[in-house]
Amino acid sequence: MGESLVEAVRQALRSVRDPLSGRDVVEAGLVQGLAARDGLVQFAVAVPRERAREMEPLRQAAEKAAAGVPGVLSVTAVLTAHREPPGPKPGGTGRAGPPPAGHGHAHPPKAPPGQGQRSPTGQGPMLLPEVGKIVAVASGKGGVGKSTTAVNLAVALAAQGLAVGLLDADIHGPSLPQMLGAREKPRTEGDRIIPLQRWGLKAMSIGFLVDEETPMIWRGPMVMGALEQLMGQVAWGKLDVMVVDMPPGTGDAQLTMSQRVPLAGAVIVSTPQDVALLDARRGVKMFERVNVPVLGLIENMSYFCCPNCNHRADVFGHGGARAEAEKTGVEFLGELPLKLEIRQLADAGTPIVAARPETEEAKAYRRIAARLWDKLQGAGAAAPRIFVE
């Protein structure tokens, strides 16, 4: 059924014309990663990077054509930018390659002081030019509470009067809809997506755009294209800081972020046991190799706190992240317990920093956020003062 549905969708897409070449999108080679499973269809439409914004109607037309195929229950189509080789195509009739640096935009967006106009790899203008500081919250492996940490740090920063954005960069396993208690689809204005607002944050996730149970069966180029859309097509506006919840590991998303936005730094989240610390060490080395400063390590699930008697037990050991921070020469930002209330509130879409600000755990998140903001401002910089009770 899957293969026959893929072929039926491919035939339906032949009715959609590429306005640049005049050919149908299949013949023009614009359809990539077409896959179908249980009636769920996904594919990318590859377009020239400098014309991606004006090609949104083409994406919509392709999505509509695929949705009309019998047996299709849901369609997810994304634009993914590609570069054509410079010069004319063989035969002299093809489209020219992308314009050189400095061209292709009548009025390129002005970057804040200290942010370059173009990515260091030459892959077009740097994204998120109106964001003051961009911080990646990362982990070497999954299951260490990275997303919970990212959400609570973002809420803690927003509670101090900062304009904060929260970007879910985990395309395959988005968790922000659950953790923020946001299920509605974002609205659009023209070709711009308006981020949802929760707990004083502007937030965006691929999970807001697709059905909750839709699996993202995408390869690297599609993942990178979707991530670039979440950064470049969303109307983030001016922000003091953006917290990016990264997927675990050291793969495509990490490279895309380091190449396409001016990351101010990364925070590594780990649990105390040796296997997690080994992966955290890889995360530190990865960011160092792409010239992104590591702002510090956080030890999550540092100890278990009994909800009945408050007895403390070091289930996964204790102090491993602090020792690792000393070994790798980065700052240890703090520790957070393995506590039932943190998990329950996260599952309910109410981060503990917002729902239980008087708890010791919420205060710990705020202390880490305060230190993080101080580091982002730099020595001697005039920054809003963050008070932690």
pLDDT tens-digit map of 126-169: 788 899 999 999 887 777 889 999 999 999 999 988 999 999 99
The CATH code of the domain that includes 351 is 3.40.50.300
Half-sphere exposure of 182 (CA within 13 A, CB side): 26
Model confidence at 178: pLDDT above 50: yes
Same domain, yes or no: 71 and 186: no
Same domain, yes or no: 330 and 226: yes
Region 314-342 average pLDDT: 81
Q: Per the domain annotation, does 87 fall within a domain?
A: no
Same domain, yes or no: 317 and 203: yes
Q: Per the domain annotation, does 234 fall within a domain?
A: yes
Q: Per the domain annotation, does 293 fall within a domain?
A: yes
Return the CA Rg of the chain: 22
User: How many whole angstroms separate alpha carbon 45 and alpha carbon 58?
Assistant: 8
pLDDT at 215: 67
pLDDT tens-digit map of 209-252: 887 767 666 767 777 888 888 888 899 999 999 999 998 876 67
Q: Per the domain annotation, does 135 fall within a domain?
A: yes
3-state secondary structure the chain: CHHHHHHHHHHHHCCCECCCCCCECCCCCCEEEEEEECCEEEEEEEEEHHHCHHHHHHHHHHHHHHHCCCCCCEEEEEEEEECCCCCCCCCCCCCCCCCCCCCCCCCCCCCCCCCCCECCCCCCECCCCCEEEEEEEECCCCCCCHHHHHHHHHHHHHCCCCCEEEEECCCCCCCHHHHHCCCCCCCEECCEECCEEECCEEEECHHHCCCCCCCCCCCHHHHHHHHHHHHHCECCCCEEEEEEECCCCCCHHHHHHHHHCCCCEEEEEECCCHHHHHHHHHHHHHHHHCCCCEEEEEECCCCEECCCCCCEECECECCHHHHHHHHHCCCEEEECCECHHHHHHHHCCCCHHHHCCCCHHHHHHHHHHHHHHHHHHCCCCCCCCCCCC
The CATH code of the domain that includes 9 is 3.30.300.130
Same domain, yes or no: 78 and 135: no
Binding positions: 140-147
- Give the structural domain span for 186: 131-377
pLDDT at 13: 95
Compute the mean pLDDT over every residue in the chain, rounded to the nearest whole number.
Answer: 79
| Higher-scoring residue by pLDDT: 5, 122 | 5
Q: Per the domain annotation, does 216 fall within a domain?
A: yes
Same domain, yes or no: 160 and 17: no
Same domain, yes or no: 322 and 262: yes
Task: Determine the residue type at 285.
Answer: K
Pick the closest to residue 377 from 117, 135, 125 (CA basis). Answer: 135
Q: Per the domain annotation, does 232 fall within a domain?
A: yes
Same domain, yes or no: 314 and 208: yes
Region 100-108 average pLDDT: 30
Q: Per the domain annotation, does 99 fall within a domain?
A: no
Same domain, yes or no: 139 and 196: yes
Q: Is the separation of the CB atoms in 82 and 48 below 8 Å? A: yes
Region 344-366 average pLDDT: 91
Q: Which of 82, 115, 150 is the last residue of a domain?
A: 82
Same domain, yes or no: 22 and 146: no
Same domain, yes or no: 193 and 272: yes
pLDDT at 144: 85
What b/e sequence results for 48-83 when a residue is b if at least 16 CB atoms lie within 10 Å of its CB, and e otherwise? bbbbbeebbebbebbbebbeebeebeebbbbbbbbe
Same domain, yes or no: 366 and 218: yes
Q: Per the domain annotation, does 124 fall within a domain?
A: no
Q: Which of 42, 60, 82 is the last residue of a domain?
A: 82
Binding positions for ATP: 140-147
Share of the chain above pLDDT 70, in %: 79
Please count the structural domains in the chain. Answer: 2
* Segment of 91-95, 281-285, 336-340, 354-358 carrying the highest mean pLDDT: 354-358
Region 273-281 average pLDDT: 70
Cβ partners under 8 Å of residue 373, min gap 6: 157, 160, 162, 241, 383, 384, 386
Same domain, yes or no: 57 and 149: no
